[in-house]
Amino acid sequence: METTTAKKILFISFSLSGQTSNLVARMANGLEATGVEVTIERLRPLKPLRFPFGSIRATVFMMLLTFFRKRVPIAPLSDKCRQRYDLMILAGPTWSYHPSGPVLSLLDRDDTGLFAGATVIPLISCRGYWRMHWFGLRALLRKKGAVVVNRIIFTHPSREPWRTLGVFLKLAGHCPEKSKFLGRYYPRYGHEKRQLEEAVRFGVLLGETLTAGRDLAALDFQTSLAVSRGRG
């Protein structure tokens, strides 16, 4: 009788405003539907971060700090991260063209061999500017011995310049989507429902490919729904 053991995936994830968490939850649903075992580890800043930042001044200050890749110290990872997984997904937002502070802290501290020899796919949630983040993150992961086989990027779907203005105001504590004028061009902060459905589809695709032992690098996650060119 043929026995198959379920493939195991570990998500290591950080999310400040819930966008990455939503994508991770949906992808996990898709993966579990294919019989893959999913474990989610959330990075916990030692000092909880405030969202929104509360003022324009605080937001500009945070953007400046994050541009210089300020680390955000995190609590130790749980024991579940010590097991071996068939795939790890390192998920988090872009902060000023870089990985977020908690993810940078994780990569600084990884002297325990978490990534050594691990197959990793980064999952990036961002407003729209992810390339520098991706190249930097891939280089850091490779330095830790990870095999980075693909990438999953989700950008916010609103058009520019409203997307940038909207995210900035949202981070500062305003509600641009509720403004009579801005709301016409910026209906929501973050990812839309169709993108979350796309994340479920990506989960299914990944689960089926992993289970069948096919090449994860051959999967195309760069769909027009995930990486929008700025639809209205």
The binding site for ligand FMN (CB under 6 A) comprises 15-20, 62-63, 66, 93-97, 125-129, 167, 171, 190
Minimum CB separation of residue 30 from ligand FMN in Å reads 18
Q: How far is the CB of 56 from ligand FMN (least distance, A)?
A: 13
Least separation in angstroms between residue 183's CB and ligand FMN is 18
DSSP β-bridge partners for residue 12: 41, 90
* Alpha carbons 203 and 29: distance in angstroms, whole number: 7
187 vs 208 by CB, closer to ligand FMN = 187
Q: Side chain identity at 221, as an amino acid letter? A: F
Return the number of the residue (5 or 68) whose C-beta is nearest ligand FMN: 68
Between 137 and 210, whose beta carbon lies closer to ligand FMN? 137
> 13 or 209: whose CB is closer to ligand FMN?
13
Least separation in angstroms between residue 228's CB and ligand FMN is: 12
In the bound state with ligand FMN, the residue whose beta carbon lies nearer, of 150 and 195, is: 195
Say how far apart CA 38 and CA 116 lie, in whole Å. Answer: 20
Least gap, CB of 171 to ligand FMN (angstroms): 5
Measured from the CB atom, is 7 or 98 closer to ligand FMN? Answer: 98
H/E run at residue 208: helix 193-212
Distance of alpha carbon 15 from alpha carbon 102, whole angstroms: 9
Chain centroid to Cα 109, Å, comes to 19
Report the chain's C-alpha Rg in angstroms. 18
d(CA 43, CA 9): 16
Residue 183 CB neighbours (<10 A): 15
CB 196 within 8 A of CB 26: yes
> Is 11 or 95 the residue whose CB approaches ligand FMN more closely?
95
CB of 38 to ligand FMN, least distance (A): 18
Q: Shortest approach of ligand FMN to residue 108 CB, angstroms? A: 18
E strands within the chain?
8-13, 37-42, 87-95, 98-99, 119-126, 147-148, 152-155
